[in-house]
Amino acid sequence: AQTVTQSQPEMSVQEAETVTLSCTYDTSENNYYLFWYKQPPSRQMILVIRQEAYKQQNATENRFSVNFQKAAKSFSLKISDSQLGDTAMYFCAFMKHGNEKLTFGTGTRLTIIP
C-beta of 85 vs 98, nearer to another protein: 98
Give me the residues that bind another protein (CB under 8 A), please.
33, 35, 42-45, 47, 50, 52, 91, 95, 97-107
Which residue's CB is nearer to another protein, number 57 or number 114? 57
Q: How far is the CB of 60 from another protein (least distance, A)?
A: 17
**How far apart are CB 71 and another protein at their closest, in Å?**
23
Q: Which is nearer to another protein, 24 or 80 (CB)?
A: 24
Distance CA 12, CA 79 (A): 12
Question: What minimum distance in Å lies between the beta carbon of 53 and another protein?
Answer: 11
Alpha-carbon gap, residue 4 to 96, rounded angstroms: 13
Distance CA 92, CA 3 (A): 11
* Contact present, 32 and 97 (Cβ < 8 Å): yes
From the CB of 33, what's the least distance to another protein, in Å? 6
**Residue 12 CB: number of other CB atoms within 10 A?**
11
DSSP designation for 107: -
